[in-house]
Structure 1
């Protein structure tokens, strides 16, 4: 665990800041917190891509089994990120803290990785710099860079023979291939990856399972009414029509308190490889959600700790002070609202 309890920077972090200053690029003084949205809840094109893996019924969870697994030889890890965006007249900058924590004995050991990118549609800036990124679609390109950095960070630093809880969905739009690669690399290290989605308005189950179709506003609406506290739904399987082999996942919904459930998902290959361990991992998830004990914002304890380190390390970098030399001129919305 000697690699943990550290904060390190992208190799071009300082170069990017230096180039912004050299080119007199103007950024706003107040960043906005960014939620990375990959439009991942796009519904399948037809019902054949979603199926039931288990009978539709309530499945009781056992937190005591979760405690046993938490104390087993498998290391528990979690990943989350925090992102600040700076919307300027010349382009958009993204400051990201990637955060990985490991349960080690009685401690949470953090490892954080800071990246800083600037994207612009103005070729006059990008042609004069090897770190200023030219982009005609900043939203898409920034997400691709984020995913590539995230995957490399997780793959290189997650200990072998561990379980990792990752905030956010498994697949999404233009980054499906990168998501598949991440899962494959982790499986090679005997790492079990699980992905967590909150506040989703997906209708994958309620639009495409005959027993549920047309009766609920969303999957969460159904799961909230269907589940009692301490239960999960049956497993569902989603398969992408264009790549059934690689882009396939299992998912279920879990209700820990009398609040909105959340979705847990994992790749089909993960399920096939660790089928015998999966039921205990479901109990472990329930236990870690109980340990966190946050009724208003229930999430895995491990992810919550990773999130706190991500936000704290962002605050260490006062980009506003660094940018004072730039003669900052924010856009109107950024000036008024800080976003």
Structure 2
């Protein structure tokens, strides 16, 4: 665990801040929190297939089995991130804290990585700097940089032979290929990656099972009504009709009498670790109960990673740095930034 309990900065972190100062870029005095939410892109729009891996029925979860696995000596890891977004007159800045934690006996070992990027449509700024990024699609480019940094961070630091919980979908729009590549690299290290989606308007299940069609607003709506507390749905298999590698196994879990969440893993992961998957779902339920947060139900591991991510952002007084640079916010940033 020597590599943990550390905070790393992106190699160009300080240089990017220096360039913003040198170019007198006008960023706002306060950041706004950004949710790196890919759920709107969870399923490609070019046609999909869904099939049942198990009979469509609720499956009871056993938290005692999960507790036993949690204390068996297996390494459990989790990833989450926290992002501040700054809307400036000349462009948009993103300060991101990537957070990875490892359970070790009664302790959590954190490792955090801070990145800072500035994107602009003004070539006059990007042409003068090696770190100011010219972009005509800032939302997409910022997500690609985020995914690249996230993947490198996870691959380089997750211990071999572990279980890894990742906040976010396995398949999500333009970044799907990057996440699938991450999954392959993790499998090479005998790491079992599972991905969590807490909010989703997907109706993949309800659109493809005839008896459910037009009866529910979304899959989560169906799962909430279908499940009792402490249950999961059957497993479903999703395959992109045009790219068979874009495939996954997924289900919905309802730990409390609140909105369920989706847990998904790549088909390759399922095939390689099929015998371990049932008890891992029991582990997930156990960690949901341990966290016990009804307002924001998530597994303890991701909850701890999230806290480290948020705390790490506060270590950098980026607001003061922006003020020192003579920052002027956009009107919306002035109204809604915190």
TM-score (norm 1): 0.97
Q: Between 140-149 and 196-205, report the one with greater CA deviation.
A: 196-205
The whole-number CA distance in structure 1 between the counterparts of 2:46 and 2:204 is: 10
Say whether 1:118 aligns with 2:114.
no
Q: Between 180-189 and 65-74, report the one with greater CA deviation.
A: 65-74
Distance 1:278 1:44, change over 3 A: farther
Deviation per residue, 1:184-210 (Å, 9 max, x gap) = 000000000000101211101011122
Deviation per residue, 1:179-236 (Å, 9 max, x gap) = 1110000000000000010121110101112221111111011100110111000001
2:210 partner SS: coil
The whole-number CA distance in structure 2 between the counterparts of 1:225 and 1:313 is: 38
Deviation per residue, 1:68-87 (Å, 9 max, x gap) = 11112320000000000000
Say whether 1:287 aligns with 2:300.
no
Specify the alignment match of 2:255 in structure 1.
Answer: 256
Q: Is the 8 A contact 1:43 1:203 kept in 2?
A: no
Q: Is the 8 A contact 2:256 2:294 kept in 1?
A: yes
Q: Between 79-88 and 168-177, report the one with greater CA deviation.
A: 168-177
* Structure 1: 5+ residue stretches without partners: none
Q: Is the 8 A contact 1:232 1:253 kept in 2?
A: yes
Which 4+ residue blocks in structure 1 deviate beyond 4 angstroms?
43-46
Specify the alignment match of 2:173 in structure 1.
Answer: 173
Q: In the TM superposition, what are the counterparts of 1:209-220 in structure 2 within 5 Å?
A: 209-220=209-220
1:29 partner SS: coil
TM-score (norm 2): 0.98
Distance 1:149 1:43, change over 3 A: closer
Specify the alignment match of 1:81 in structure 2.
Answer: 81
2:79 partner SS: strand
Could you tell me how far 1:28 is from its partner in structure 2?
0.1
The whole-number CA distance in structure 1 between the counterparts of 2:21 and 2:45 is: 46
- Give the aligned length: 337
Say whether 1:307 aligns with 2:278.
no
The whole-number CA distance in structure 1 between the counterparts of 2:26 and 2:125 is: 12
Specify the alignment match of 1:318 in structure 2.
Answer: 317
* Structure 2: 5+ residue stretches without partners: none
